[in-house]
Each structure stands twice: as C-alpha cells, then as structure tokens.
A and B are shown apart, each in its own frame.
Chain A
Amino acid sequence: MPKSSGRSFPRLAYGGKSAGSSNVAVMPSTPIGLSEHLSIFGNPQPYFYSLHHLKNQLSENELHGRGGAAFPLSRKLEGYETYRGQVVVVANGSEGEYLSHKDETLMMRHPNLVLDGLTILGTALDAKMGFVHIKASKTGPQTVIAAALAERKQIDPFKIEISTTAPDVGYISGTESAVISAINKQGGRPIYLPDRPISRGVRKRPTLIANVETLAHLALLARFGAGWFSSVGIGGDTGTRLLTITLPNGRYTVPEVVAGTTFEEIFDVLGVTENQVSFALLGGYFGQIVDPGKLWSLRASAAYLKDAGFSLGAGVVALANGCPVVETGRVLEYLSGESAGQCGPCYFGLPELAKAWKELALGHVSSKALARVSELCEEIIGRGACAMPDGAVLFARASLNRFRSEILAHQGGNCSYQPMSRGLVPPQKSMAH
C-alpha cells in the first residue's frame, strides 16, 4: 500500500514542514522522481482515463481551478466531448504574477503529479498532445519537467512537450489566449477570443487549458477518489490549495492549506504576527489591499472570500509595511507598464489611472481628483481583450473604498504610515513617495 494513500493532509506538501498544524504545511521544493512518486502515491485509478467516469467523478464540482478564476473543472470540460480526438491540452504553469511562486514550486516538487493530471485529461479527451507551459525565465521547472518527461517516456504513451512564454510578456503571459498565442509562436500576447479557446486554440485545434496545481489535485483525486478529495475543507470549497505568502522580511513561502483555514492559523504556523505589518495584499494585483486586522479574520478559501467581497485569485498573499495608498499607486503604475499595448482603453487608460492615483498619494486630494479616479475606472472597465484593465480597475476601486480616510489624510502631504523600504512590485518600477 502506498504510504500516503488516504492521507487527508498534507497532500501536495507531503514531506514538508507542518509545525504541528493539521491545516497548514510548507511545500518542500526538491523534486520527487518517478519511482519515489509511484511508491508514495501509486497509480491513478484506470477509470479516470475515461471521459464519462472522469466527468462523473467531477460532477459535484469539487475541483475548482487554482489559476485564479476558481472555475470548476467539471464545467470546463463541458463542450469538449464533441471534439474528442482533436483536442490539445495545456498545463498552464506560466504564473505571470510577479509575487506568485506556487506553480513553479509545485512543478519543482511534483513534476509527475502535474504530468499525471495532464495525461488523465488528455487521455480522457483522446487528445492529440499536451503542453506544459512555463515562464521563459524559469529554467528550474523547465529542467525538472523535462527530466520527468524523459523518465516517463518508457511507460507513458501520451505525447507531452514543454512550451514557454514569450520573454517580453510579463503579467498577462498566463492568460489563456496569451498561452495559445505563445505556443502558436504568435507573440505570446492575449488575442481576441470571444468564444474561449474551445474551438480555435493551439494549432487551430480546440484547446483545454488548466492550471498546473489544478492538474496535480486531479492526479490525487484520480487515485483516492472524490470523497477523499472533499474530506477536508469547508462548504463550497473543499480540498487543499497552495498559497504564495510574501513574509515581512521579503522572502516568500509556499504553504499548502486546507480550504477555509483562517489566515490567523496560517500566520501562526509561519510565525508572523499582525503587528509586524501595516497592510497586506490579498489575491494578488487583481485582489485588494487590506488591513492586517481584516486579513487575520478571513479564511483562505476562494468561495468564502468571494462571498465576503474579496478574491483569493491565484493565492498570492503579501505582507508589507508602508502606506496602502502609496502602494496602490505603485501597483497601478506597475500594471500600466505590463499592458500588452494592444487595446486602447488599457494602453491609454491605465497610465492615466496610475497618474490620477499618484496625485492622491502625493497629497493633491480634492473632490475633483477623487472623481477623476472614479471616472477613469468607469471608463476603462470591461473594454479589454483580457482581464488586465478590469483587474486594475477593481484594485483601484477597492483601495478607494477601503482607505478613503487615509487618502483624505494625505491632503497636504501627510501620511499616517512609515515609509516603506520594499513594496509589492518589482523595485525598478516603483513610485517615489
């Protein structure tokens, strides 16, 4: 019997440090090779390779995507049945978000779980082939996945190749249409795909793209069953998930947490207290900046946070010191620099939005300046080919509501926070305080 079978937690972080918690464990990042992989997890149940059974097993929507949108995998599969035999499947490990490291950590640790998950989807759909899509600069995961593919070649007939993002495309490189464009060698920027990539994706074939963590969970679900998968978690969000947490010292850690675990418990295990930070980024750049007190009271669950008016996104949580108003400006400026420059409202609008916010941060606060931010948000939202402009707008709106009193306090150049030494965005793109 495999030594981890039926083990409800840790799952992906098996072998990692749990500090005595049954809900939080930190992922190790040394790769697990094929023979150790098989001795720990065994093989997937053969019936998971049949689309009918796979759909049945996923029918209760237990497995939600871990790439940011939390879309149920069962619903993602809908519509592909008629394209059996033509589909291309893609494991998306491109992780465009600057602060996210969970996908690369997962690929470094469990290349075989990612490849198992992709093989299950690919075989069930009778797919032509699969790709593992990795950021061009991340040579570590590329090497580990390549080694795993070489090792599996003998036993696994499903054809999988590695593809990489375009090196000059940053934040938006992970969006589905940009992944397709990169694999098709068309520049790797988002393309206009009103009907999702279902009918016209990689090499003009119907293309199914799933996040690498989603596939790793699928690989475990296919061994131990849907009941096992849902044996931990909370209503509406079961199983476990990986987070990337930036600690106050600037280092990051990738814990696996049971869905619904409170951030208080997570930070207890990581040894961080509320008074060490002045604000936190929850859900990455498409999420919001929140007070530590608020964050500590929330739960790490996509469904729970959505109901509470937040977003977990791809699981980025960054703890920082400094002023949330200034930092919102930095994030908006960073995002405006990450625009692919393809859509007018994003290319022209985001720099204007960043500029309007900077006016507030610099203390030029007036009802006109505040109205300008709201007006730009209204003008930009819903008008891009990808989610980039909407993400920036929602980020600005959240800070506008949450930190209104601090914005007003900035009038005349005041600020209630200590200046920060290190922020949420790459240093070369930061805004002067």
Chain B
Amino acid sequence: MTLSINPIACDGYGMCAELLPELIELDEWGFPIIKTKEIPASLIEHARRAERLCPTLAIIINKK
C-alpha cells in the first residue's frame, strides 16, 4: 500500500505528521511532505488512523 496526499484538499493542519512521523514531515509552511510512499505493514494501522483523522480528508491510501 502507498500513501499520497490530495494537495488541493490539504489545508496544512499537520495532524498527519503528528500521527505518522515515520512517513510524513511538514514543510516550512506546515504542509506535508511524504518521505516514503510505501507503507510498511507495521505502520498500516497508523496510516489508516491518519487517513481517518485528517480534518480535510486529504490523506489517500492506495491499495497497490
């Protein structure tokens, strides 16, 4: 599974970087940068949580 962000939906709340710091960091304006696209099995639950809790639903988990 891979991680992506809908950059239009994203408003830079930054919650994803709090919930998934292993894969996401924030740029100087508070918008997420995906460090690693591939989601390791150990982080899938955390990634799902970030997807669910993003205030603008901008986190996308792709099935392949």
Stretch at the interface among A117-125, A206-214, A377-385: A377-385
**Complex CA distance for A403 and B29, rounded to whole angstroms:** 29
Q: How large is the interface on B (under 10, 10 to 19, 20 to 34, 35 or more residues)?
A: 10 to 19
**Which A residues form the contact surface with B (CB < 8 A)?**
190-192, 194, 342-346, 348-349, 379, 383-385
A191 to chain B: closest residue by CB? B8
Residues in A with CB closer than 8 Å to B7 are 192, 342-346, 383-385
Cβ proximity bits B30-62 to A, threshold 8 Å, 1 near / 0 not: 110100000000000000000000000000000
27 A-B pairs (CB sep. < 8 Å): A190-B8, A192-B7, A192-B8, A192-B9, A194-B4, A342-B7, A342-B8, A343-B7, A343-B8, A343-B10, A344-B7, A344-B10, A344-B11, A344-B12, A344-B27, A344-B29, A344-B30, A345-B7, A345-B27, A345-B31, A349-B27, A349-B29, A379-B33, A383-B7, A383-B31, A384-B7, A385-B6
**Which B residues form the contact surface with A (CB < 8 A)?**
4, 6-12, 27-31, 33
Residues in A with CB closer than 8 Å to B12 are 344
| Distance of A105 from chain B, by nearest CB (Å) | 33
**Complex CA distance for A230 and B27, rounded to whole angstroms:** 48
B4 to chain A: closest residue by CB? A194
- In contact, A348 and B10 (Cβ under 8 angstroms): no
Main secondary structure of the interface of B (DSSP, over half): loop
- Given A343-B10, A384-B7, 11 other A-B residues pairs in contact with their CB atoms under 8 A: A192-B6, A342-B7, A343-B8, A344-B7, A344-B12, A344-B30, A345-B29, A348-B29, A349-B27, A383-B33, A385-B6
Residues in A with CB closer than 8 Å to B30 are 344
Residues in A with CB closer than 8 Å to B11 are 344
Residues in A with CB closer than 8 Å to B29 are 344-345, 348-349
**Complex CA distance for A342 and B12, rounded to whole angstroms:** 11
Residues in A with CB closer than 8 Å to B8 are 190-192, 342-343, 385
- In contact, A379 and B27 (Cβ under 8 angstroms): yes
Residues in B with CB closer than 8 Å to A379 are 27-28, 33
Residues in A with CB closer than 8 Å to B10 are 343-344
Residues in A with CB closer than 8 Å to B31 are 344-345, 348, 383
**Complex CA distance for A346 and B27, rounded to whole angstroms:** 12
Residues in B with CB closer than 8 Å to A346 are 7
CB-CB nearest 4 A-B residue pairs = A344-B31, A343-B7, A348-B29, A342-B8
| Distance of A101 from chain B, by nearest CB (Å) | 30
Residues in A with CB closer than 8 Å to B27 are 344-345, 349, 379
**Complex CA distance for A343 and B27, rounded to whole angstroms:** 13
Residues in B with CB closer than 8 Å to A342 are 7-8
Residues in A with CB closer than 8 Å to B4 are 194
B12 to chain A: closest residue by CB? A344
**Complex CA distance for A348 and B9, rounded to whole angstroms:** 15
| Distance of A414 from chain B, by nearest CB (Å) | 31
| Distance of B24 from chain A, by nearest CB (Å) | 12
Residues in B with CB closer than 8 Å to A349 are 27, 29
**Complex CA distance for A349 and B30, rounded to whole angstroms:** 11
**Complex CA distance for A191 and B29, rounded to whole angstroms:** 22
Residues in B with CB closer than 8 Å to A385 are 6-8
